[in-house]
A and B are shown apart, each in its own frame.
Chain A
Amino acid sequence: MDFATLIQILDSTMRLATPLLLACLAGLYSERSGIFDIGLEGKMLMAAMCTGAVAALTGSVWIGLLAGIAGSMIFALIHGVASITFRGNQLISGVALNFVASGITVLIAQSLFRQGGRTPPLSGPARFNPIELPFAEALSGVPILGPFYAEVISGHGALVYIALLCVPLTWWALFRTRFGLRLRAVGENPASVDTAGISVVRLRYTAVIITGVLCGLAGAYMAAGLQTGFGKEMTAGRGYIALAALIFAKWRPWYALMATLLFGFFQALALRPDVIKGTLGFDVPVPALDALPYILTVIVLAGFVGRAIPPRAGGEPYVKER
């Protein structure tokens, strides 16, 4: 593999890792507060459809983004109502919402545009267009670092940088603010938070809403950044990969960045079987590469690479003592 190819693969790693990272951080807030969320996939899909449709209708990607966040938020709130207010089974609620999203996105897109459940192709201001970071052109002559900066770091859509900024922000919010301490506490021992006079229900709803916003960003990037519009089942299991990355990262923001970059790298590699053959000297079947993130997750879950312990109160509805 020569340097130019490596730069190309790293460039697509950045782009493919972004929706994973946003969804992974989304899951982090929810699960840290004690609400399991299998429904990241469905929320992303809903956001992708809303963004694709509204951006196509208005011609503005930013209005599309708002629509995407709204769409994702509706699903987040249904999940919140089911799992916080009505103390339902969080896993089942997530699975159910994924099915609803999978079907309803196609129904809406088809009734709006009649293009076989797709939204019309987006272009120009209806997409997240590449942003050239300062000095990218000037520094591109510098060996190794220059092309790396110009190709891999610079020249992505705005959401890529927002996603990267979300990592330190999440770390700060989680470990350096009062809200973060309470959020982590409510996921470990909600009774103690309740005893301290803080509302468990409000904290958990806040977490679920943040999850909705971040999934909205992830879905919007899928439809208007990574691709040019919404297509049926376009998230293709990314919500589950993000969930896997979250476990791999042991529910910590910086590790989430590492894990999603790793999984993004595998996805980028899976797009280039020619490179793998050239590097390894033998043919690795593409399905094996596709399955790699899932196999890795199972290995991580099995505890071979250090044990991943979820927040203790995860999945348990909180019932206030009477």
Chain B
Amino acid sequence: MTRLPRWADLVLVPLISLLLAGIISALVILAIGQSPMEALRTMVTGALGSAYGWGYTLYYATSFMFTGLAVTVAFHASLFNIGGEGQAQLGGLGVALVCLFIPWPHWTLALPGAMIAGALFGAAWAAIPAYLQAKRGSHVVITTIMFNYIAAALIVYMLVNVLRPAGQMDPATARFPAATNLPTLHEIPGLSILFDKQIPANVTLFVALLACWLVWLLLWRTRLGYEIRAFGRSEPAALYAGISPFRVTMIAMLISGGLAGLMSINNVMGESERLLQNSTEGAGFIGIAVALMGRNHPIGVFLAAILFGFLFQGGAELGLWTSIPIELRTVVQGLVILFTGALDHMVRMLLGLFFAPRRTQVA
């Protein structure tokens, strides 16, 4: 197999994968008797054609940045954390408890408090699978899937039996006090010129951008990040270099769970302002696609999160305005994961065909 130039590996492989996923999705749309061009137009106008659409796209992108970073950090330690969904739900519980039971005077104080709670709860939910992986060798993929289901059951129990206010029918907490409500982009001076309507995208977008930068700093500019990446590349080599597998596994999974938990400052505190039953809406799983598409780099995760924000919002618009079901976005999500994560060798082989002849000429 031809080795691809670095730029092709970084840029072309994800783009070709996306293109392949797009072509298959278009065929699916054709097969169910709809027009792919019409669908694309609806998605683009709905998600990117107005400040209102962008407000939703950026709101979803914020969540996906957190979960994408969560998967990325674990991937670098060669751990596949599928539990982002459960960790984000637990993070939501942490955020809800802090917002409901601590009388915050102002959102600037409530936000750091909620961030700590969300991250702690998310990290705690990742801690048991991490420990079992590090000490008992039970596979983190299976345990995190199990913990997703346990988290869902726990949240149902907490909402129905503990946190639901008396007399309320739907399983949700009470509304958080007004002092904890985060300003949306529409309420921020300066940005309110761009976003003239009430939108869900809020200040946590900036927290997400900060998180992208911090994860980059962690992975490529600190000793711990080096240890994580070394461990991920080769466990025996890392062990030989004096890196403790137990410590790296635990820390990488705790950071991963913490990042997934942090997501809930966006959806729970920033948007719904109370904890609902399915607050994460699958964002934890989309994190897998975002991390794979973003080539496990914070800049890539940022771009891929915006792409998936567009896909999520555009898919919702499809459900509203066309007879294409909203589930199309799950299909695209799955196809992107398939092509970028499992069929990446195939994509490389395809690209290798184009790069091979030119290389021999040079030689």
Residues of A near any B CB (own CB < 8 A): 38, 78, 82-83, 86-93, 95-104, 106-108, 110-111, 117, 232, 237, 240, 243-244, 247, 285, 287-288, 290-291, 294-295, 297-298, 301-303, 308, 310
Whether B337 contacts A88 by the Cβ 8 Å rule is no
Query: How far is the CB of A143 from the nearest CB of chain B, in Å?
Result: 39
| Extra A-B contacts (12), CB below 8 Å, given A82-B343, A92-B341, A100-B331 | A95-B82, A96-B338, A98-B334, A99-B330, A106-B325, A107-B324, A111-B31, A240-B145, A243-B145, A294-B150, A298-B143, A301-B132
Whether A107 contacts B331 by the Cβ 8 Å rule is yes
Within 8 A of A (CB), among B124-171: 128, 132, 136-139, 141-143, 145-147, 149-150, 153-154, 156-157, 160-161
Contact of B344 (CB < 8 Å), options: A88, A101, A291, A297? A88
Contact string, B330-346, partner A, CB cutoff 8 A, digits 1/0? 11111101100111111
Whether B345 contacts A88 by the Cβ 8 Å rule is yes
24 contacts between A and B (CB under 8 A): A38-B145, A82-B342, A83-B342, A86-B342, A86-B345, A86-B346, A88-B346, A89-B341, A89-B342, A91-B141, A92-B288, A92-B341, A92-B342, A95-B285, A100-B334, A102-B334, A103-B329, A110-B32, A117-B327, A290-B156, A291-B150, A297-B146, A301-B139, A303-B137
Whether B146 contacts A117 by the Cβ 8 Å rule is no
The 5 closest A-B pairs by CB, nearest first: A99-B334, A103-B330, A100-B334, A93-B342, A92-B341
- In the bound complex, CA of A203 to CA of B273 (Å): 54
Contact of A298 (CB < 8 Å), options: B146, B153, B341? B146
**Given known contacts A93-B338, A93-B342, A301-B143, A102 and B330 CB-to-CB distance under 8 angstroms:** yes
Query: How far is the CB of A260 from the nearest CB of chain B, in Å?
Result: 16
**Given known contacts A103-B330, A303-B136, A111 and B154 CB-to-CB distance under 8 angstroms:** no
**Given known contacts A107-B325, A110-B325, A302-B138, A99 and B333 CB-to-CB distance under 8 angstroms:** yes
**Given known contacts A103-B330, A117-B325, A297-B142, A96 and B153 CB-to-CB distance under 8 angstroms:** no
Whether B334 contacts A298 by the Cβ 8 Å rule is no
Interface assignment of B328: CB less than 8 Å from any CB of chain A: yes
Interface assignment of B292: CB less than 8 Å from any CB of chain A: yes
Which residue from chain A places its CB closest to the CB of B133 in the assembled complex?
A: A301
Whether A82 contacts B157 by the Cβ 8 Å rule is no
Dominant secondary structure at the A interface: helix
Whether B331 contacts A247 by the Cβ 8 Å rule is no
Contact of A96 (CB < 8 Å), options: B137, B141, B146, B342? B342
- In the bound complex, CA of A91 to CA of B292 (Å): 13
Interface assignment of B28: CB less than 8 Å from any CB of chain A: yes
Whether A96 contacts B143 by the Cβ 8 Å rule is no
Interface assignment of B33: CB less than 8 Å from any CB of chain A: yes
Dominant secondary structure at the B interface: helix
> Interface size of B by Cβ–Cβ distance < 8 Å?
49
- In the bound complex, CA of A287 to CA of B148 (Å): 13
Interface assignment of B80: CB less than 8 Å from any CB of chain A: yes
Which residue from chain B places its CB closest to the CB of A232 in the assembled complex?
A: B327
- In the bound complex, CA of A87 to CA of B132 (Å): 28
- In the bound complex, CA of A277 to CA of B344 (Å): 52
Query: How far is the CB of A83 from the nearest CB of chain B, in Å?
Result: 7
Which residue from chain B places its CB closest to the CB of A285 in the assembled complex?
A: B157
Contact string, B266-305, partner A, CB cutoff 8 A, digits 1/0? 0000000000000000000100100010000000000000
- In the bound complex, CA of A272 to CA of B139 (Å): 33
Whether A103 contacts B327 by the Cβ 8 Å rule is yes
Whether A102 contacts B341 by the Cβ 8 Å rule is no
A99: B residues at CB distance < 8 A: 285, 330-331, 333-334, 337
Contact string, B58-86, partner A, CB cutoff 8 A, digits 1/0? 00000000000000000000001010000
Whether B330 contacts A301 by the Cβ 8 Å rule is no
- In the bound complex, CA of A295 to CA of B338 (Å): 29
- In the bound complex, CA of A317 to CA of B335 (Å): 21
Which residue from chain A places its CB closest to the CB of B161 in the assembled complex?
A: A285
**Given known contacts A103-B329, A107-B28, A107-B32, A298 and B82 CB-to-CB distance under 8 angstroms:** no
Which residue from chain A places its CB closest to the CB of B329 in the assembled complex?
A: A103
Within 8 A of A (CB), among B102-142: 128, 132, 136-139, 141-142
- In the bound complex, CA of A101 to CA of B28 (Å): 12
Within 8 A of A (CB), among B175-199: none
A97: B residues at CB distance < 8 A: 334, 338
Query: How far is the CB of A60 from the nearest CB of chain B, in Å?
Result: 24
Which residue from chain A places its CB closest to the CB of B29 in the assembled complex?
A: A107
B331: A residues at CB distance < 8 A: 99-100, 103-104, 107
Pick from B80, B149, B324, B345 the residue with the most CB of A within 10 Å: B149
Whether A96 contacts B80 by the Cβ 8 Å rule is no
B344: A residues at CB distance < 8 A: 88
B334: A residues at CB distance < 8 A: 96-103
B128: A residues at CB distance < 8 A: 298
A297: B residues at CB distance < 8 A: 142, 146
Which residue from chain B places its CB closest to the CB of A94 in the assembled complex?
A: B342
Pick from A117, A243, A298 the residue with the most CB of B within 10 Å: A298
**Given known contacts A86-B346, A103-B329, A297-B142, A91 and B80 CB-to-CB distance under 8 angstroms:** yes
